[in-house]
Amino acid sequence: MRSLQIALAVARKDLRSEWRGRELLPALATFVLLALVIANFAFDLNGASVPRLAPGILWLVLVFVGLVAFGRSFAGEKERGSLEAMLLTPAPAGALFAGKAGAAGLVLLATEAVLLVGMALFLGAPLSAAVIAITFAASLGIAALGSLFAALVAQTRAKELLLPVLVLPLWLPFVVLGGRALQEAFAGQAMRPGPSLLLLDLGVLFWIAAVLAARFVLDD
């Protein structure tokens, strides 16, 4: 119970800091819109090709946004030396991690909202409940793994280089499962709850594993 309160307090602190500073979210939203403009020109999109290409564009933008969102979450704390200060408190490392990962995950969800709306407006990709459910379900596991490895690389030299090398291969199950489900959703097929539930299951599993591993990553 106390761990949950600590996690919520850390998440609140991160979200408040983001709300007051307004640094990450506007930058990520701009990045998302720019990426969509580039995709539009790069793929020469039209009504016929959008349903086929939209899942790929969505995942490409999403993983790069994730790299920045999670990378900043721990790198900023490390640069300010505030991570060490938090670790000096008696709060369990797992709770601190869960709070930071939760806040970074919410930032990712907000960016996804911009991405989905942008795709509907600029690319004409159909925005349905299935698309939203699949994207948000995949974010759970992406946030857990992304935050764990962002915390890990924050302790090393060459963080910017290591984060994509380590986390992109591990995000692959989400991209594969989510990509397949989004292909169906963008093609207008009826929503099947299976893929979203599987993504949620995987997400919960990775959250538990990441919170358990956080002690070893943040300990140093």
Partner 1 sequence: MTKHRLPYALTATGVVTLLGALALVFFFAPQDAVQGPVQRIFYVHVSAAIAGFACFGVVVVASVLHLVRTGAASDRLARAAAQVGLVMLTVNISMGIVWAKPIWGWDPSQTWDARFTTTVVLWLIYAGYLLVRKFAAPGRQASRLAAVVGIFGFIDVPIVYFSVQWWRTLHPSLRAGNGQPALPAAMLLTFGVTAVAMLILTAALVSVRYSIEQQAEEQESRATNASLELAR
Residues engaged in binding partner 1 (CB under 8 A): 145, 148-149, 152-153, 155-158, 161-162, 165-166, 169-170, 172-173, 209, 213, 216-217, 219-220
d(CA 60, CA 32): 10
What is the smallest separation between the CB atom of 172 and partner 1, expressed in angstroms? 6
Closer residue to partner 1 (CB): 76 or 179: 179
What is the smallest separation between the CB atom of 179 and partner 1, expressed in angstroms? 12
Closer residue to partner 1 (CB): 22 or 157: 157
Closer residue to partner 1 (CB): 15 or 213: 213
What is the smallest separation between the CB atom of 93 and partner 1, expressed in angstroms? 12
Closer residue to partner 1 (CB): 125 or 144: 144
DSSP code for 177: H
Distances in Å between the Cα of 144 and the Cα atoms of 132, 151, 179, 194, 211 are 19, 11, 19, 21, 8
What is the smallest separation between the CB atom of 134 and partner 1, expressed in angstroms? 18
Q: Is 124 left (phi over 0), alpha (psi -120 to 50) or beta?
A: left
Q: Contact 134/26 with Cβ under 8 angstroms?
A: no
d(CA 212, CA 102): 15
